[in-house]
Chain A
Amino acid sequence: MTVSYEAVIGIECHVELKTATKMFCGCPNEFGGEPNTKVCPVCLGMPGALPVPNRVAIEHMIRAGLAFGAEIPAFSKFDRKNYFYPDMPKDYQISQYDMPLTLGGTVKYWLEDGTMKTCRLTRIHLEEDTGKSSHAGSGDGRIAGSAYSLVDFNRAGVPLMECVSEPEIHSAVEAVAYLEALRLTLLQLGVSDVKMEEGSLRCDANVSIRLHGAAELGTKTEIKNMNSFRSVHRAIESEIARQTALLESGGRIVQETRGWDEVRGETHSMRSKEQAHDYRYFPDPDLVPMEPLAGAVERVTASIPELPWRRFERFTAEYGINPKQATQLVATGALATYFDRVVELTKRPQQVTNFVLGDLSRLANESGVPIAQSKVLPEALAELIALLEAKTINSKIAKDLLERMWAEGGSPASLVDSLGLAQTSDVGVIEKFVDDAIAANPKVVADYRAGKSNVAGFLVGQIMKASSGKADPALVKDLLLKKLA
């Protein structure tokens, strides 16, 4: 008999907030730089220095909380989390313990086939980032065997949002989809750059497995060192497989932290002696409780755009766009807004999708200019689609026009007028082109008449070319076939 297991996964994210300055001092909040150049007495934990909270970071938290449907309590405070660590300047981290800025909330995400999923959040809270240690003399950068260690405090004090999900995710695919939705939401809210490669998004996964239908959770392991969504996917798959094999061979899962090894494609035990830390949380006496959040909530609410998951739902359900294309359309807020506007003007969602994800995306990629910031305004694209619908132009002309509009802007209707690009449906004119083509290509005509019907396409091409693309292709084909018959 084969038993089947269900994976239970919770994701813990640390997201660096996008602010001009650090959480509690005036140092710039920027990635990189020469070590220890973006520091001051406050973020170095110098004696006597005091923290002053960054209001923008607090508003970002409220923005994220509201976006996830969290409750924003009227009272919140900062606490100190006490433990010694060389990259933590004060040997305590200013964090939030029992009264975070937001309570609860849910992340809505979707799978490739369009299925909507939800995952509740255990908590989102605000804290300060630590510095970064590096170890020299051991050859591999590890602390074991190193001669000395260096600490860079440029990152110390950067505002950090911790976002912990409930264990409600059941596969590696879901985990990545969850992270993608979280990333998109935070990006479009403007609260973070969420770049995994720069560490502004970092995540760990708690993974356990249990028999299908079992009520109790299995023993979990915490997976660290995942540096991309791809490695999250691989690491979780690998860990589920490891745990499954272990249980099936009669083994026992040990609660531990495991590191993901990208090269070997497996997790390895990092810390087996899990000593329970007593962080001695207590309210930070250097900071006063935050009360006047009501005004901020109103102000922030007004600034929240339509969220990616909601757009995805609307584009698939209302517009009938397929999930893959809808996912591409919601990838940036500005693109989705652009798309929405053109649909509003044309009522032709699929045609707009084709333009936006087709020719316009190609032009955007080639030029490096995002569609929403290009010279092709939504009104102009809508006009182009209307011209096409009205058969004033054909799709070939539309394509050419779009290139021209991308380079120079302008209204397609006026371009059609000034360049004389309007489609010709005048039978007399087209008949002349058809006759000319038949006369000029006797061999092709003979082939056609001998039964090679596919050569008609060549003749159509010749006729279109002769009309500078303006002839109505349907009419051309109609007349040609009649004459060849």
Chain B
Amino acid sequence: MALENDPIERSAADIARDVNAGTISASEVVEGTLAHVDAVDARVGAYLTILHDAARERAANVDARVRSGERLPLAGVPLAVKDNMCLTATRTTCGSRILEHWIAPYTATAVARMLEAGCVPIGKTNLDEFAMGSSCENSALGITRNPYDLSRVPGGSSGGSAAAVAAREAAIGLGSDTGGSIREPGAFCNLIGFKPTYGRISRYGLIAFASSLDQIGPLTRTVEDAALAYDAMAGHDPMDATSIDRPVEPAAASLRRDLHGLRIGLVREFDTEKLGPDVDKAYDRAYAELKALGADLVEVSLPTADYGLATYYLIAPAECSSNLSRFDGVRYGLRVDADDVQAMYERTRAAGFGSEVKRRILIGTHALSSGYYDAYYVRAQKARTLIARDFETAFASCDLIACPAASSPAFAFNAKSDPYSMYMMDYYTIPMSLAGLPALSVPCGWVTPAGGVEPMPLGLQLCAPLFAEPLLLGAAHAYERATMHAVKHLPLVVSGARA
């Protein structure tokens, strides 16, 4: 059970309240967190870079601001930042050899807003290289383990941030979600993994994987914390032409206690039987819990959602093939010298990129090639439009959609060695990404997977219409509070440390 008085157990909301009230300083919170990180991260591997000095400096700064009378919504909250977001004067690697030693010269807007709100950056977290993967196993720079079972993956690509928050090495983790990269690790690590509407949070300073899909969002242990993080980051940024210029309704004020009056759609085509009998039953129980909270369960149809995976694996690689061109050895990052520039490009990129990144660059380059562009890229864009339209139709008869957040609970290392079975992990999250919709994963139960000994968390995915983040977070809060699934088990690294 959660240990209410242990500082590292406290939610971001609690920490901010206490720091603002002066009952604890940001520096104390951060010292406690750093000590814990130093104790457990060798086993978890959440962080690629731990920012001891920067964190202490920042905490002192927060304390000074609080002393001078400022009230900060996230005062003193320890923050884990996925290592594909720039933080000035800090190594930002994308989990890749090609950026292994690159120091970012500026700070991403989303990160800057979190810092402005009072967060203290504890470190930069591991990820699948350039956010391409669903297990963190594609990182070239380290292994991250699931805090609930160290023999299993934390999910990906935001696996480091998820593991950090689950292991209490930070209160909020920033992730980026392109096809499920926040929601799936959220589900694997017993967290809220929240991807807002595309364009709600600036991408400036987020190293692009697929620009039209990438979206920053928080990984937290409570919905309230996700709402606070969202409120701090959401809103137009003049540095990002795709960020949406329309007012943000604060989500933290919209948290609700029940689901009365909400119609929640269950997707006819998302057959949960293939998830296996235990998982299947767990989701059936979760849907029943929604109903018990007052929601009307309705069946909706997403006839084209099944094309999501194929559509995604044309659009995302196409964009990535172009986005990753700049890693050429000329201006920054790895350079493997050669006699001429062409050979330098080839040797640098051959040495700098891992195999999954290369695979996607090749797929994307092919999909954009003359002669194939219409058959692949253009048709994928059409399919994307149809998928978005299906959601629009579905939302005419429901307020939210509920479905699994991942195709399985966290799996063991090397269990998904062929790319396709790994891609399948995002089967339930990709359609929402293609439609740009806000969606989150909320803990909804536990199963002990075949061959495993530890109970592993499952995530329920809730998805809302565009810009309906307050409704989405409000409903997730009601579900979380009523069910309390998340607090039924502590991660081993935390409970073990106390045993």
The answer to whether A binds B is yes
| Interface residue ranges, A against B (CB under 8 Å) | 41, 44-53, 80, 82, 84, 86, 89-92, 149, 151, 278, 280-282, 285-288
Collect the chain A residues with CB atoms within 8 Å of residue B86's CB.
Answer: 47-48
Subset of 17 A-B contacts with CB under 8 Å? A46-B332, A47-B207, A48-B84, A48-B203, A48-B205, A49-B204, A50-B203, A50-B241, A52-B240, A52-B241, A53-B241, A84-B325, A280-B370, A281-B368, A282-B368, A282-B377, A285-B242
Q: Are A41 and B319 in touch, CB under 8 angstroms?
A: no
Q: Are B241 and A282 in touch, CB under 8 angstroms?
A: no
Nearest chain A residue, comparing its CB with the CB of B318:
A282
Q: Are A48 and B241 in touch, CB under 8 angstroms?
A: no
Please tell me which one of the listed residues A53, A89, A285 contacts residue B211 in the complex, with CB atoms under 8 A apart.
Answer: A285
Please tell me which one of the listed residues B105, B204, B211, B322 contacts residue A280 in the complex, with CB atoms under 8 A apart.
Answer: B322
Name, among B94, B241, B370, the residue most crowded by chain A CB atoms within 10 Å (CB to CB). Answer: B241
Collect the chain B residues with CB atoms within 8 Å of residue A89's CB.
Answer: 326, 331
Collect the chain B residues with CB atoms within 8 Å of residue A278's CB.
Answer: 369-370
Complex: how many Å from CA A48 to CA B204? 6
Known contacts A41-B106, A44-B331; is-contact A51 B241 (Cβ 8 Å)? yes
Collect the chain B residues with CB atoms within 8 Å of residue A280's CB.
Answer: 321-322, 365, 368-370, 373
Collect the chain A residues with CB atoms within 8 Å of residue B452's CB.
Answer: none
Q: Are B325 and A82 in touch, CB under 8 angstroms?
A: yes
The 9 closest A-B pairs by CB, nearest first: A91-B325, A285-B211, A285-B212, A280-B368, A47-B207, A48-B205, A48-B207, A45-B326, A90-B326
Chief secondary structure at chain B's binding surface? loop
Q: How many residues of B contact A (CB 8 A)?
A: 45
- B92 located at the interface, meaning its Cβ lies under 8 Å from any Cβ of chain A in the complex: yes
Q: Are B242 and A286 in touch, CB under 8 angstroms?
A: yes
A153 to chain B, nearest CB (A): 8
Complex: how many Å from CA A90 to CA B85? 18
A156 to chain B, nearest CB (A): 10
Collect the chain A residues with CB atoms within 8 Å of residue B163's CB.
Answer: none
Collect the chain A residues with CB atoms within 8 Å of residue B99's CB.
Answer: 47
Q: Are B92 and A92 in touch, CB under 8 angstroms?
A: no
Collect the chain B residues with CB atoms within 8 Å of residue A53's CB.
Answer: 241
Nearest chain B residue, comparing its CB with the CB of A36:
B331
Please tell me which one of the listed residues B205, B238, B331 contacts residue A52 in the complex, with CB atoms under 8 A apart.
Answer: B238
A285 to chain B, nearest CB (A): 4
Complex: how many Å from CA A91 to CA B342? 13
Complex: how many Å from CA A53 to CA B208? 18
Collect the chain A residues with CB atoms within 8 Å of residue B108's CB.
Answer: 48
Complex: how many Å from CA A354 to CA B40? 91
Known contacts A282-B368, A285-B212; is-contact A45 B204 (Cβ 8 Å)? no
Complex: how many Å from CA A287 to CA B203? 12
Collect the chain B residues with CB atoms within 8 Å of residue A41's CB.
Answer: 105-106
- B42 located at the interface, meaning its Cβ lies under 8 Å from any Cβ of chain A in the complex: no
Complex: how many Å from CA A44 to CA B238? 18
B132 to chain A, nearest CB (A): 15
- B423 located at the interface, meaning its Cβ lies under 8 Å from any Cβ of chain A in the complex: no
Complex: how many Å from CA A285 to CA B322? 10
Known: A52-B239, A84-B325; 8 extra A-B contacts, CB below 8 A, are A48-B108, A48-B206, A49-B106, A51-B241, A82-B321, A278-B369, A281-B368, A282-B318
Q: Are B319 and A285 in touch, CB under 8 angstroms?
A: yes
- B328 located at the interface, meaning its Cβ lies under 8 Å from any Cβ of chain A in the complex: yes
B365 to chain A, nearest CB (A): 7
Q: Are B106 and A46 in touch, CB under 8 angstroms?
A: yes
Complex: how many Å from CA A433 to CA B240? 84
Complex: how many Å from CA A74 to CA B205? 32
Encode B306-327 as 1/0 by CB contact (under 8 A) with A. Answer: 0000000000001101100111
B331-377 CB contacts (< 8 Å) to partner A: 331-332, 341-342, 345, 365, 368-370, 373, 377
Complex: how many Å from CA A151 to CA B341? 13
Please tell me which one of the listed residues B325, B342, B345, B373 contacts residue A282 in the complex, with CB atoms under 8 A apart.
Answer: B373
- B270 located at the interface, meaning its Cβ lies under 8 Å from any Cβ of chain A in the complex: no
Nearest chain A residue, comparing its CB with the CB of B211:
A285
Q: Are B239 and A91 in touch, CB under 8 angstroms?
A: no
Collect the chain B residues with CB atoms within 8 Å of residue A44's CB.
Answer: 331
- B2 located at the interface, meaning its Cβ lies under 8 Å from any Cβ of chain A in the complex: no
Known contacts A41-B106, A285-B319, A287-B242; is-contact A48 B85 (Cβ 8 Å)? yes
- B330 located at the interface, meaning its Cβ lies under 8 Å from any Cβ of chain A in the complex: yes
Q: Are B105 and A46 in touch, CB under 8 angstroms?
A: yes
Q: Are B240 and A50 in touch, CB under 8 angstroms?
A: yes
Collect the chain B residues with CB atoms within 8 Å of residue A80's CB.
Answer: 322
Nearest chain B residue, comparing its CB with the CB of A86:
B330
- B413 located at the interface, meaning its Cβ lies under 8 Å from any Cβ of chain A in the complex: no
B466 to chain A, nearest CB (A): 15
Complex: how many Å from CA A201 to CA B69? 57
Nearest chain A residue, comparing its CB with the CB of B107:
A48
Nearest chain A residue, comparing its CB with the CB of B94:
A47
Encode B192-218 as 1/0 by CB contact (under 8 A) with A. Answer: 000000000001111110111000000
Complex: how many Å from CA A82 to CA B366? 13
Nearest chain B residue, comparing its CB with the CB of A41:
B106
Collect the chain A residues with CB atoms within 8 Å of residue B330's CB.
Answer: 86, 151
A271 to chain B, nearest CB (A): 15
Known contacts A286-B211, A287-B241; is-contact A91 B370 (Cβ 8 Å)? no
Collect the chain A residues with CB atoms within 8 Å of residue B373's CB.
Answer: 280, 282
Collect the chain A residues with CB atoms within 8 Å of residue B369's CB.
Answer: 278, 280
Collect the chain B residues with CB atoms within 8 Å of residue A281's CB.
Answer: 368
Nearest chain B residue, comparing its CB with the CB of A42:
B239
Complex: how many Å from CA A109 to CA B240? 42
Q: Are B370 and A48 in touch, CB under 8 angstroms?
A: no
A95 to chain B, nearest CB (A): 13
Complex: how many Å from CA A92 to CA B373? 17
A438 to chain B, nearest CB (A): 86
Collect the chain A residues with CB atoms within 8 Å of residue B212's CB.
Answer: 285
Complex: how many Å from CA A48 to CA B153? 27
Collect the chain B residues with CB atoms within 8 Å of residue A45's CB.
Answer: 326, 331
A48 to chain B, nearest CB (A): 4
Encode B232-269 as 1/0 by CB contact (under 8 A) with A. Answer: 00000011111000000000000000000000000000
Complex: how many Å from CA A288 to CA B212? 10
Complex: how many Å from CA A427 to CA B208? 93
Q: Are A286 and B241 in touch, CB under 8 angstroms?
A: yes
Nearest chain B residue, comparing its CB with the CB of A25:
B239
Q: Are A50 and B345 in touch, CB under 8 angstroms?
A: no
Complex: how many Å from CA A8 to CA B319? 40
Complex: how many Å from CA A49 to CA B108? 9
Nearest chain B residue, comparing its CB with the CB of A280:
B368
Encode B414-444 as 1/0 by CB contact (under 8 A) with A. Answer: 0000000000000000000000000000000
A292 to chain B, nearest CB (A): 13
Q: Are B368 and A91 in touch, CB under 8 angstroms?
A: no
